[in-house]
């Protein structure tokens, strides 16, 4: 079994839209997610892990309407293990947020 630590996904989604940041092709470990607010006002974000790409459900959220201050970055250190076809979805309160997922795919 080989693993390579890398950027799993990067996304600057449209405001108020749930978007896919990463879909696991095989088993993967998401170690850290960064949420960067480039805007001049605080805003909120949401992050969900949807097993096997299931339709969104309240139980999938690992962060919900969490505030990130203006010109600031939040790092969530998770170590979340994903199975094949699991999906990490993100939501930005404004279009000024970017998301970066770091981790390893287990091959």
CATH (domain of 15): 2.60.120.340
* DSSP state letter for 15: B
User: What pTM was estimated for this model as a whole?
Assistant: 0.93
Q: Give the chain's domain count.
A: 1
Segments of the chain scoring below 70 in pLDDT: 1-2
Cβ atoms 29, 103 nearer than 8 A: yes
Whole-number Å distance between alpha carbons of 9 and 88: 9
Whole-number Å distance between alpha carbons of 32 and 34: 7
The predicted structure's pLDDT at residue 30 = 96
The predicted structure's pLDDT at residue 40 = 98
Whole-number Å distance between alpha carbons of 82 and 23: 9
Domain interval for residue 68: 3-106
The predicted structure's pLDDT at residue 21 = 97
Beta partners for residue 98, in sequence order: 36
The predicted structure's pLDDT at residue 39 = 97
């Amino acid at each position: 079994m080989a693993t390579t630590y890398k950027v799993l996904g990067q996304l600057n989604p449209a405001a108020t839209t749930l978007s896919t940041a990463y879909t696991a092709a095989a088993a993967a470990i998401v170690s850290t997610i960064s949420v960067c607010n480039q805007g001049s006002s605080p805003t909120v974000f949401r992050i969900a892990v949807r097993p096997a790409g299931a339709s969104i459900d309240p139980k999938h959220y690992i962060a919900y309407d969490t505030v990130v201050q203006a010109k600031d970055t939040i790092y969530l250190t998770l170590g979340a293990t994903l199975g094949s076809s699991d999906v990490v979805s993100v939501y930005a309160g404004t279009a000024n947020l970017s998301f970066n997922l770091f981790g390893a795919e287990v091959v």
